[in-house]
Amino acid sequence: MMKNLFSLEGRVAIVTGGSRGIGKMIAQGFVEQGAKVYITARKAPVCDQTAEELSQQGGHCVSLPHDLSTLDGIEAFTKEFMQHETKLDVLVNNAGAAWGADFTQFPEAGWDKVMDLNVKSPFFLTKALHGVLKKSGSAEQFAKVINIASIDGIKINPWETYSYQASKAAMIHLTRRMAARLIQDHIAVSGIAPGAFASEMNKAAKDHEDLVAKAVPARRIGKAEDMAGAAVFLASRAGDYVVGDTLAVDGGFAYSATGGAWGE
């Protein structure tokens, strides 16, 4: 039994925002562990290209591009997914947005866009897919929901990204509340709070890796395998007893005594 703890053979997974960045890292990890992975993102060409790339590596990745920022978009995605599958083993709520502006100038649009995509959409997408997740889960092996938060929901940074930091703190607590309810249906909800990983969302880590690494106790930014490893652990049988917790994958930054900004 121990040798198959981290296997995802025969499992069906969805990774939102799976076409690039952290979502792509997770999707690749799942594919390489044997899962059939559906990725979704707003930009169809990029989503299609990533699915083709991951499938060519010997796995099975399917592109279903949709905009999940609205309930109509969630409904359309769910409907299309259910044309392909009758059950779902793992849902990764990764799609997200950020917005930065001076406190005195911060717009309502920057609040609503971020809170809707980062908090509202994961909740309602999970709700829409509850039936197929429940069908997959059992006492022997739970279905999984993995919410991608951020260390910005644990430790504030000096940048004026008010709605983003609030949304990620909300996601961590929402993960606990959802976990308490969904475990009744053999669905284990957990989360990941990434630190510095190179992505379009984290341009500092992407463009200034050496500077950012100095602020991380591990003295490097995160690698693709760091994120994939954490996600595979939570998605697999190995992570079945993790319920409601959010795992910081950040090289120790969130709990260090360093300053709030990368490079300080």
Spatial distance between the Cα atoms of 79 and 89, rounded to a whole number of angstroms: 17
**Type of residue found at 195:** G
Q: Where are the beta strands (DSSP E) in 129-236?
A: 143-148, 187-194
Integer angstrom CA distances of residue 241 from 107, 141, 183, 192, 235: 41, 10, 10, 15, 11
Longest Cα–Cα distance in the chain: 57
- Pull the structure tokens for residue 180: 């308490």
Q: Are 170 and 117 in contact (CB under 8 A)?
A: no
Backbone angles phi, psi at 123, to 5 degrees: -65, -50
Spatial distance between the Cα atoms of 154 and 231, rounded to a whole number of angstroms: 19
Q: Are 226 and 249 in contact (CB under 8 A)?
A: yes
Q: Which of 38, 164, 241, 255 is catalytic?
A: 164
3-class state of residue 50 by DSSP: helix
Spatial distance between the Cα atoms of 223 and 39, rounded to a whole number of angstroms: 20
164 given a catalytic annotation: yes
Q: Active-site residues: which are they?
A: 164
